[in-house]
Amino acid sequence: MEFKQVFVIVACVLVFVFGWLLASLKNQKSRANHYLAFFMGMMFLQYLLKSFEGFSYPQLTMVTYLFIIPLMLSTTPFIFMYTQKLTNQKSRFTHIKFLHFVPALTVLLINIFSYGFIPYSDKILLASGVVKNPDILSLLNVYVTTYDISQYLYDLQAIFYGFLMLRLISRHKSKISEMFSYRENISLSWIQLFVIVFLAVSVIEILMYSFVEFIAKAGDDPSGMTVSLLTVYEKFTLGLAIAYNGFLGFFGMKQTDIYQTTETRQKIPVSSRSITQVEKTPDTVEVPIIPEIADTDKKTYKFELSEEQKTRILNDILEIMEKKKLYLNSRLTLIDVADAINTNKNYVSNTINEKLKKNFFQFVNEYRIKEALSLMDNSLYDNYSIEGIAHSSGFNSKSVFNPAFKQYTGKTPSEYRNNPES
């Protein structure tokens, strides 16, 4: 068995296993997994068709010629829709999203009406290069031209969707600082890394194809350099495909939904008395309560708060943060705080932004840093590790705690513990 066939079979098994796991998990961690499962399914069919090239069955090879490029053009849109679903829980697969698959369908139809219309006997002769029929050669020329253009189209498609995904992730990272007090498992940095590598490979591939085409047209390649280059690159891309499909499958299995609806999220426990439910007097300032909406991109409601209302909301926020120590909940969200004071999340966010000049992430983590300083100054906690202090203060990990601590105090946690007075 050739080296290429081994790689193709390994890749085929890998994407099948991940696709099956993502599609069949009873307790789905993320609804976006359906898109990732479809992506793995498309990749499985691709590798299955590639594996046919290693067998001496021309019928199987002919099937590969028809479907391999349309399948390639179908994969990237599923990764984009996966990212879109993670960054916007309200995203749905509507009829308009079928437009993403127009290039794949167009190439499939051209393949069927060109190569597909060539009689089987002539296809066998084509492989030997003995067909002279101009009609058959014309159909073959349409297929070959479409195939060559589609190679570039796939890379251009990858670049186009890659930049769209980077834009989605950039907006998402700005949004989570306003809505969440943590970043673990919600920053989507792993998708960002995948997209950057994907973009780099696509650009390299376009440059390589252009170079090979230039050499072929020039007819100046006596040493067969272009053939060697394509062979090495094919092995490289097969190895890379195994790596990035495994990467997507592994992290996709771990990824959970980020923007959950009001019905599905788990609220933090608060007292039965809401601190904003005060006795009404003629001087009471009422703030309208607006129903929560899960899609943070949609500004369904707009209400300008007065300075008096902002001050009241800020006092309520500060009171409940200090009394209830909500910041000790490592998964605290903006909606949790809004629920605790019986108001709307947009009011809480705007009040923190305008009155304190901070985002929600900074606001909550400053409380956590003060808690950590209090624990580190208390001899009862001398036996706690830095990680233990971090968790006791409401942080999920040292990777977030350490830079936040240094930004607030000018020292690392270890430096502060060893020399707190300096």
Report the alpha-carbon angle 279-282-287, nearest 5: 65
pLDDT for the residue 55: 63
**What local confidence, expressed as pLDDT, does residue 313 receive?**
93
Tokens of 378: 């208390």
Q: Which two tokens stand for residue 263?
A: 């019905």
**Residue type present at position 181:** S
Instruction: Return the C-alpha torsion angle 48, 49, 55, 57, nearest 10.
Output: 130
pLDDT band at 234 (very low <50, low <70, confident <90, very high): confident
What digits encode the pLDDT tens for the residues 379-418? Answer: 898 899 999 999 999 999 888 899 999 999 899 999 888 8
Asked whether residue 58 carries a pLDDT value surpassing 70, the answer given is: no
Looking at the chain, the whole-number percentage of residues with pLDDT higher than 70 is 81
Extents of the domains making up the chain = 3-254
DSSP per-residue string spanning 305-359: PPHHHHHHHHHHHHHHHHHH-GGGSTT-BHHHHHHHTTS-HHHHHHHHHHHHS--
Q: At 137, list the tokens.
A: 């050669």
More confident residue, 405 or 27: 405
Residues sharing a CB contact under 8 Å with residue 22, sequence separation 6 or more, in sequence order:
33, 34, 36, 37, 40, 249, 252, 253
pTM of the model: 0.80
Residue range 246-267, pLDDT digits in tens: 999 999 988 888 886 433 454 4
Q: Indicate the DSSP class of residue 259.
A: S
CATH number given to 3-254: 1.20.1070
Mean per-residue pLDDT over the chain, rounded: 82
Closest CA to 363 of 332, 402, 397: 332
pLDDT of residue 368: 95
- Torsion sign (Cα): 61, 67, 71, 72: positive
Looking at the predicted structure, is the pLDDT value of residue 137 above 90? no
Residue 283 scores a pLDDT above 60: no
pLDDT tens for each residue of 175-188: 999 999 998 889 99
Q: Is 50 left (phi over 0), alpha (psi -120 to 50) or beta?
A: alpha
Q: Which amino acid is at 69?
A: I
Q: Which of 17, 98, 114, 30 has the alpha carbon at shortest distance from 65?
A: 114
